[in-house]
Structure 1
């Protein structure tokens, strides 16, 4: 039923198996094995036998999506062709009206209309990609699966209620605005998918869908009170929005004892007491592995409120959260918008918890003693305005935490992570303006593989390390008072990014060893760096330097990418005379650059991308362009404005260049003629050639040209002749911008054939 190379969702596939009756409950022991459990076993067997590929997994390593191998897909089509009718891109199976056909997928509406009524009545699956006539629904008496996803249908007819055997219905990505009341007659429906529709409200009759196990809908849809509480077989409920007055109360969750997987509870501000919260009976839902609790703050109602009222709201939040105690099997927890000052007592009982996110909790001055949770691996703390210390009370030991992020906590002063956190792999700290102290146990530092410190202007130093073999990605951004980096961290770096650290005066002191494993180095806007010794970085593969020193000496070795930009004081760049691996060289917006050493590019045979632009004092380009046989992309100019001709560059006779950008200046009267031999060129940008009045006839030699941009050529009046234009047979896009003198009237016949024209 799925087209070739289609991304198959694991849950959806199992639900389709259920709808066809392939799965049945099983009683291997005391606890019944559900259809979904059996489907997961079958799915895993298929994966283990390589029938699926290109899998993607969730945080727990469970496969979410996959694809079928082309050969397996073809085999499945061959095996099922006797009972399936499908439309591939240019092929509609001619025998679609055979009596044994049971499954129809992606065939035109006209094909359905030609089928006999008796054969339509036998169909068990129908996947439709365009609009379906309402008359067909009355004929689908045996249908179990109806997939209308992304079809042109705008309304479900009342006759949908006649599909007594329907077990799977998908109306996602349609313009359906309302469900008919007859939807409540689909008593056998197991799965209902309603993603991204125009639905505003669900009908009251949905409470009759007593066999519904999986429902998907957008959180904006209004659900009247009394519906969800009746659907006692529900396993999948993506979110539950607590109603203010007429909407569903949180007590409706109490009867949904079969819920599994993920559940988000929204608008918890409408729950007023611990007793009311307990009616959800979350503690009994042993199969819910992920919970998200979200309060929405109503500033309009609280504007001008007294502090006593605010305190009352805070106490209310605390009591409500205490009443939402989940089952101890819970693995992931998020609390957002909570305005209490104290965490619930039950957090410390979640021994299976792997991930916790605390966000937008403005009144919490501390966090729970999370270090006592034996399976906790992932901690995120975000937008806790009053949080002052992390690690001062119970947070100094994280036995298994691997990822920790602390983001936008403006009052945070210190972070302390002790030696007990040896498994810590990733630490991210962002926008903590008050942070002045970061203390990490030395042995903890040896395990960190990624350390990001972003927007901490009062931080003066980083923790050091004692040994360690794990490679480190280190990112430091907007740390105004940071003056140096500890050598222990640098020696482990494989990637180092430094941006906007104005007081950083040195990175690799002469007295220290150079980080021999450093492969990527990015330094931008660190004005305090007067020199940048790079010669000892023999493993460096990528170097990006911006807004730095008056001279740069590039290390020899295995460099593959060099980017130098916005260095106003830079006068010279010195590279090794031979860099056999360099593939990318970009030099831009260095207005005082006068020399590039070496002056010959013969030693760079692997260059694929070369950019030298906006260098206002550069008079000459390096020689050796004729040796760049692998060059695919080239951008050059503008240079010294007193030049009357473009600096010489001569590409090899059979150049493979595909994209060229030429940027000129006022004194240039013509384009560089050497580009007329670039027969492989597909894209050409011509910018700011103010002195050019007519494009040359030899432009017609660029027979592979597909896209031509002509921008800000103020005196351009004429395009090449019609004869030259006729040779540009592949040209499909022309963009002419900022050329006011170009008279499109007489020139129009030359370009009218081009599919896309922007002038």
Structure 2
């Protein structure tokens, strides 16, 4: 199609239009009766300004549209005005609005009429992340307040917002199931979320790159919305009642994550359904809650203090199946109770913790009986593995870069399920465990950089398919 305008004379009564490779131009407004515009695989960068004049239009396959980009004043057809969204009341599915830094104020933002679009279930509101520090951010709080969505919204992403506080409507969005906050660097507090009944994934509450955030406190739990709910012992307050996953990443200034406060005369349950928690690059974090009754997967990476690990992996935690600890600088050991209490622990990974001297301080017996994968990489101070850390269920064992490791527990009857064994760069390790010859299902064996090991009982491995020794 060389020119969409050639078809305008026949377009007045057109109700459906399907575009794949065609290019929009300003003549689109001639399709006055258009009700369905299918943009599946359409090669476009943004919707033109004229689309806002199609009052009967319902976009289908909107997820295939990259975005609606708000243009700078005077930019013309290369960008849309936010008000052009106002007439598109039948929008459904997903709506992404980018370049919101070009919206003047809250009143202009309201002209998008997002609050009337009850079929939008997912919305992404995005400001340009790579703006100069000298740019003015003073109107952004009003703009975000003016972009209040319909209460049916289920998934919300806010990216690059530079206001100091989040909008009031965010804490009133009872149907929200997922939230992502990314690059909101001026915000010192997160919104109140704990009272939202349907919230399942603060998926990368990517409190990610929220550089001014220093504390997760009472505002995070939503006390202002629940404090008057339970004033007697008959009523239990539940905070984050449906939340299943929580990711907090690159919150470089975050120092404190406090326990939920139990008010006088109140029963309290917090995170009753939380199954997955990730704390990554929260380097200054010094404290964390200790009550996670359903937690299954825990990942803590790139942190200076070992106190958050000690708090979360407390003697109350019994539900873990996956534990991943990576580059926690001041972690000396794990609590003995953690290994013994979490009977269903399936995957344990501890990597690059420079002060780790032992996995369990007093040793453990017959722990981790469900463990299938064990991965230890700890460099300088780890000399021994606990005797009890040899479950019969183990399928994958990787011990690498443990430069001080002197011994691996004797495997008297082998590991009958072990299929892969990697021992690499353990300079002081001089002998393989005696029972290794009874690992009859071993298929892949790597012994590398362990110069004191002089013999490998290869003849005992009847199932061996791959051997690397150097």
User: TM-score normalized by structure 2?
Assistant: 0.82
1:449 alignment partner in structure 2 = 296
Q: Once the 2 structures are TM-superposed, how far is the Cα of residue 240 of structure 1 from its aligned partner? A: 1.1
Three-state SS of the structure 2 residue aligned to 1:496 is strand
Q: Once the 2 structures are TM-superposed, how far is the Cα of residue 331 of structure 1 from its aligned partner? A: 0.4
Change (3 A) 1:377 1:223: closer
Change (3 A) 1:220 1:346: same
1:519 alignment partner in structure 2 = 372
Partners of 2:298 and 2:322 within 8 A in 1:
yes
In structure 2, stretches of 5+ residues that fail to align are 223-238, 261-268
1:106 alignment partner in structure 2 = none
Three-state SS of the structure 2 residue aligned to 1:484 is coil
Pick from 49, 53, 57 the counterpart of residue 225 of structure 1.
49
Change (3 A) 1:432 1:266: same
2:397 alignment partner in structure 1 = 543
Distance 2:55 2:440 in 1: 67
Partners of 2:259 and 2:289 within 8 A in 1:
yes
Distance 1:593 1:231 in 2: 77
Pick from 239, 243, 250 the counterpart of residue 401 of structure 1.
243
Distance 2:317 2:147 in 1: 43
Distance 2:187 2:331 in 1: 29
Q: Once the 2 structures are TM-superposed, how far is the Cα of residue 232 of structure 1 from its aligned partner? A: 3.3
1:244 alignment partner in structure 2 = 72
Q: Deviations over 1:147-179 (max 9, x none)?
A: xxxxxxxxx3x5xxxxxxxxxxxxxxxxxxxx6
Three-state SS of the structure 1 residue aligned to 2:346 is strand
Q: Once the 2 structures are TM-superposed, how far is the Cα of residue 358 of structure 1 from its aligned partner? A: 0.8
Within 5 A, what are the aligned runs for 1:639-654?
none
Q: Once the 2 structures are TM-superposed, how far is the Cα of residue 233 of structure 1 from its aligned partner? A: 1.7
2:37 alignment partner in structure 1 = 213
2:339 alignment partner in structure 1 = 490
Partners of 1:361 and 1:384 within 8 A in 2:
yes
Partners of 1:435 and 1:459 within 8 A in 2:
no
Within 5 A, what are the aligned runs for 1:670-689?
none
2:357 alignment partner in structure 1 = 505
Q: Once the 2 structures are TM-superposed, how far is the Cα of residue 188 of structure 1 from its aligned partner? A: 4.0
Distance 2:138 2:310 in 1: 39
Q: Once the 2 structures are TM-superposed, how far is the Cα of residue 534 of structure 1 from its aligned partner? A: 4.6
Partners of 2:28 and 2:50 within 8 A in 1:
no
1:278 alignment partner in structure 2 = 110
Distance 2:30 2:410 in 1: 73
Change (3 A) 1:393 1:221: closer
**Structure 2 residue 401 is matched with structure 1 residue 569:** no
Pick from 237, 256, 280 the counterpart of residue 414 of structure 1.
256
Q: Once the 2 structures are TM-superposed, how far is the Cα of residue 572 of structure 1 from its aligned partner? A: 2.0
**Structure 2 residue 327 is matched with structure 1 residue 478:** yes
Distance 1:193 1:575 in 2: 69
Pick from 265, 289, 299 the counterpart of residue 121 of structure 2.
289
Change (3 A) 1:206 1:472: same
Change (3 A) 1:215 1:510: same
Q: Once the 2 structures are TM-superposed, how far is the Cα of residue 346 of structure 1 from its aligned partner? A: 0.5
Q: Once the 2 structures are TM-superposed, how far is the Cα of residue 592 of structure 1 from its aligned partner? A: 3.5
Pick from 579, 589, 592 the counterpart of residue 439 of structure 2.
579
**Structure 2 residue 449 is matched with structure 1 residue 589:** yes
Three-state SS of the structure 1 residue aligned to 2:180 is strand
**Structure 2 residue 306 is matched with structure 1 residue 459:** yes
Partners of 2:301 and 2:326 within 8 A in 1:
yes
Change (3 A) 1:583 1:190: farther
Change (3 A) 1:424 1:537: same
Distance 2:451 2:6 in 1: 72
1:391 alignment partner in structure 2 = 217
Which of the pair has the greater relative contact order for Cα pairs under 8 Å at 6+ separation? 2
Within 5 A, what are the aligned runs for 1:431-446?
431-441=281-291, 444=292, 446=293
Partners of 1:234 and 1:258 within 8 A in 2:
yes
1:339 alignment partner in structure 2 = 162
Three-state SS of the structure 2 residue aligned to 1:573 is coil
Three-state SS of the structure 2 residue aligned to 1:474 is strand
Three-state SS of the structure 2 residue aligned to 1:227 is helix
Q: Once the 2 structures are TM-superposed, how far is the Cα of residue 275 of structure 1 from its aligned partner? A: 0.8
User: TM-score normalized by structure 1?
Assistant: 0.52
Q: Computing the radius of gyration over CA atoms, which structure comes out larger, 1 or 2? A: 1
**Structure 2 residue 97 is matched with structure 1 residue 265:** yes
Partners of 1:416 and 1:440 within 8 A in 2:
no
Q: Once the 2 structures are TM-superposed, how far is the Cα of residue 315 of structure 1 from its aligned partner? A: 2.8
Partners of 1:395 and 1:417 within 8 A in 2:
no
Partners of 2:49 and 2:80 within 8 A in 1:
yes
Q: Once the 2 structures are TM-superposed, how far is the Cα of residue 437 of structure 1 from its aligned partner? A: 1.3
Change (3 A) 1:224 1:494: closer
Q: Once the 2 structures are TM-superposed, how far is the Cα of residue 327 of structure 1 from its aligned partner? A: 0.5
Q: Deviations over 1:595-644 (max 9, x none)?
A: 33xx3523x222222222x2xxxxxxxxxxxxxxxxxxxxxxxxxxxxxx
Three-state SS of the structure 1 residue aligned to 2:398 is strand
Partners of 2:357 and 2:383 within 8 A in 1:
yes
**Structure 2 residue 381 is matched with structure 1 residue 528:** yes
Within 5 A, what are the aligned runs for 1:40-119?
none
2:230 alignment partner in structure 1 = none
2:225 alignment partner in structure 1 = none
Distance 2:42 2:452 in 1: 56
Moved more, 494-503 or 579-588: 579-588
In structure 1, stretches of 5+ residues that fail to align are 1-155, 159-178, 615-759
Distance 1:229 1:465 in 2: 60
Q: Deviations over 1:571-591 (max 9, x none)?
A: 222242322222221112323
Three-state SS of the structure 2 residue aligned to 1:393 is helix
Distance 1:282 1:359 in 2: 21
Partners of 1:202 and 1:221 within 8 A in 2:
no
Partners of 2:363 and 2:388 within 8 A in 1:
no
1:428 alignment partner in structure 2 = 278
